[in-house]
């Protein structure tokens, strides 16, 4: 009986999620064998083909301001967005096509301001990416979420989903990152438990990223909470006791 109970408890203990399995910002050691990632400088997002931009033109010229009134904010939203074509240009009212592919938002803003100032001397332009979203699929709350600031990191992104489920495989998180000019998307796979993920190439989330969280193979046998764990032990012991009492009764 003691041997059976000991074996049962050992099996149940192995079914719990440990800090080593799901904890973040762990120090890599010889025992946990967490990877060590190199720090890399942050690279701002650069506009790609098929991205969409929104802009706001500011000028004291009332005539031009009224003509371009469609680009003002209405009920918190811009009326129009403008797609970046295959040749890398964007076609805005009153302007020849302007190439902005490969530019950051600030660089595109300066480029469009210079273009508008050829026809409106006091023009000032504010530019923002319209499709500033990332997606999450897998063992987290799936959906599409807004990149609300520059240098959004993987922890902030997943916090918007309510975090990865305990059954999610934190050792093999994947980011599918599209490239420009018809190139194959890049797939970045990493272990987000290690503290060396900070400032690594896996740390920051960009518009159009897809974060995929796979389910661990042994998640079927895991118990998500200690309450569930204690309940499983109690019910298992009760079942075992009932079976043993029944067997003992049969052999009386």
DSSP 69: G
Return the pLDDT at 72: 47
**Separation in Å, CA 60 to CA 63, 123, 193:** 9, 8, 53
Phi, psi angle pair for 84, to nearest 5°: -85, 120
Residue 133 near residue 208, CB atoms below 8 Å: yes
| pLDDT the model gives residue 85 | 95
> Which of 53, 51, 54 lies closest to 74, judged by CA?
54
DSSP state of 29: -
Q: Angle at CA 186, nearest 5°, toward 183 and 187?
A: 150
What was the pLDDT predicted at 76?
46
pLDDT of the chain along its 252 residues, tens only?
555 555 545 445 455 667 777 889 999 999 989 999 999 999 999 999 999 999 998 989 888 777 765 454 444 444 589 999 999 999 998 899 999 999 999 999 999 999 999 999 999 999 999 999 999 999 998 999 999 999 999 999 999 998 898 889 999 999 999 988 767 899 999 999 999 999 999 999 999 999 999 998 764 445 555 555 555 556 666 666 676 666 676 776
β-pairing, 133-138 vs 210-213, is parallel
């Amino acid at each position: 009986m003691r041997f059976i109970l000991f074996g049962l408890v050992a099996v149940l203990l192995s079914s719990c999620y440990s800090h080593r399995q799901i904890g973040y910002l762990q120090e890599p050691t010889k025992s946990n064998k967490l990877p060590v990632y190199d720090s890399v400088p942050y690279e701002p997002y650069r506009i790609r083909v098929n991205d969409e931009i929104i802009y706001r033109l500011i000028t004291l010229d009332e005539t031009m301001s009224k003509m371009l009134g469609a680009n003002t904010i209405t009920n918190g939203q811009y009326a129009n967005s403008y797609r970046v074509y295959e040749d890398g240009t964007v076609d805005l009212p009153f302007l020849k096509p302007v190439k902005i592919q490969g530019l950051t938002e600030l660089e595109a803003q300066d480029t469009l301001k210079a273009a508008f100032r050829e026809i409106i001397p006091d023009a000032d332009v504010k530019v923002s990416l319209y499709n500033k979203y990332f997606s999450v699929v897998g063992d987290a709350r799936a959906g599409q979420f807004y990149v609300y600031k520059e240098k959004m990191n993987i922890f902030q992104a997943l916090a918007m989903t309510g975090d990865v489920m305990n059954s999610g495989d934190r050792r093999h998180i994947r980011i599918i990152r599209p490239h420009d000019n018809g190139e194959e998307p890049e797939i970045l796979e990493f272990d987000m438990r290690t503290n060396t993920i900070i400032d690594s190439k896996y740390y920051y989330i960009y518009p159009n990223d897809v974060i995929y969280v796979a389910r661990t193979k042994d998640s079927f046998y895991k118990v998500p909470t200690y309450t569930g764990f204690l309940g499983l032990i109690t019910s298992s012991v009760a079942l075992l006791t009932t079976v043993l009492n029944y067997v003992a009764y049969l052999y009386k």
